[in-house]
Every structure is written in structure tokens, then in C-alpha cells.
Amino acid sequence: MNKRQTFVHGDELKEDLARLVDRYAALPEDVQRSGLITFAHTPPDDTSFLVTRLWDIYLPSWRAFRDYKKPKGDLEEDRKLVEEINGWVDGAPGMISHNEHDVDKLDHVTIARSVKVRKGRWRRFSEEQEQRMWEHEQS
């Protein structure tokens, strides 16, 4: 190991994660329905949690950005941007399939990833967001 690594015993990590589960399970049902991305996007402030201490070591500025709220933008501008990105993903006019594997020869590359809406017992996103994601998949 080097100075940029921390050894964590598996039992200690499991115990800490179980404490996090207990903490989040105790939240009101309406908060839990809002999704992990809303109420658990960062670890708790409480440094008794191993996860919090690790974040403090490896991402020390996380506390300064934790409560950052994206400024309200122009909804029409946001909608156009999403449409443009979806056009790339869905194959914009003029795009052709190819078998080129050398990305240096390509103008752009699209990598798509899917995120499951649930992680074990936890909802990652709000019910409303899940519904929008489902509707988008059906279209």
C-alpha cells in the first residue's frame, strides 16, 4: 500500500454500512421515497462513520459542495440540450454505423450506461423520476 491508500478491514466496513442503513431506514417514509440521490448523495457529517472519514481523506472538499444548488436555468434551453444529446444517442441524421475501433479516427464516441432505479431495498431516485425514466424507455 502507498500513502494514498487506506486499508479497511471488511468487518469494520460492513459494520459502518449497516449503521448507515439503520440511519437512513429511520428517516420518514416521504424522505425515503425521494430517493438516495436526494438524502444520501454524501455521507453524514458525523465523523464516527468510517465512510465520512474516508470521504474527508480522499475528497476533502466534499463538504463545501454538499449543499450546492444548481442555479435555475432556462427550461427551454435545458429541453433543447436534452433533445440534442438524445439525438446523438439515438443516431442523429447523417450518422452511419461503422466498425472503426480506433477512437482517434472518430469525430465522437458515445458511451451509454444504464443505472438501475433501485439498489437493494433503496430507491435511487424519486418516484416521479422513476416514472419519467420508465416513460422515456417506452417511447
In a domain, 2, yes or no: no
What would the pLDDT profile of 3-61 be if each residue is shown by its tens digit? Answer: 899 999 999 999 999 999 999 999 999 999 999 988 999 999 999 999 999 999 999 99
Q: Which amino acid is at 38?
A: T
Q: Say how many domains are in the chain.
A: 1
Average pLDDT over residues 87-108: 76
In a domain, 5, yes or no: no
In a domain, 62, yes or no: yes
Q: Which domain holds residue 49?
A: 10-138
Distances (CA, A) of 127 to 23, 57, 59, 78, 137: 21, 34, 30, 22, 15
In a domain, 121, yes or no: yes
Q: In DSSP terms, which residues pair with 123 in a beta bridge? A: 118
In a domain, 56, yes or no: yes
In a domain, 1, yes or no: no
In a domain, 30, yes or no: yes
In a domain, 63, yes or no: yes
